[in-house]
Structure 1
């Protein structure tokens, strides 16, 4: 009986994620729920952007290459594609906008910060969404991105902040009041 009561109380707080056909679709669904937990800007002195090695997540079938990205403060992104080294350039142009490409003005795109914490980075391409298909760049820190698929990583974001947003103290107070009322009336 007690288990069922607790399950009924916690039920509204349990988010059940449906199956998604694409990474972009799932990002669209979870961003409104987790955006408030994001770092406010890319350019902060202690920004996780520069502190972590990021694995670029993709939902392209058959793409098994692990792309490890390291953003340097000097404007370079060092990339290891299954160990083969490459590089891109980046420049933060405002607290929430970054240019990423071959060079700053050749084959580059403007992205806006959609979400950033110590474990995940989501950048949204700026512009008319009808003109391009790859709307998001999604990164996870190395220890998460190298062992999880894109959907498991996105579920991890939701699980991480679902627990933080749950008003446990409120539920505890209600349970104590109900318990006190039951004892008092007995």
Structure 2
């Protein structure tokens, strides 16, 4: 693995861990907004991002390299609505997609085909991640300020299963 590919993947491990922390912060914001289903959804999202980091972590180690972890800085941004939280989520996913695309490009330029194959999984995953956020945003925009509709959306979000099909806790607040 070239130093360029190694450094880019190592950076992405840290980017994924940062995204995980950011989603955990979003979960906390949803709790404060009294949307326990959305809080659960973001907690599962946080776990998923950590899983992405670990996938890359394992990939680096499988290629006989080490990972350098950096300090994570995530600030909870005050928001007033669930829609604002999900818009921030989409913006974050779009940023991650750009990071993955750049990493894929580096792997191609360096002719590191093992990394190209690994990055293909992430490219596909990012399409799903962005779509998921856009789908929730569309529902929230349709709901507007209708309390019943917002509560129904929150209930749906709380039903999201974590990795492996479990809920990752007890109920929506688990």
What range is the shorter-chain TM-score in?
Answer: under 0.3
TM-score by length of 1: 0.23
Q: Please identify the structure whose Cα radius of gyration is greater.
A: 1
Higher relative contact order (CA 8 A, sep 6+): 2
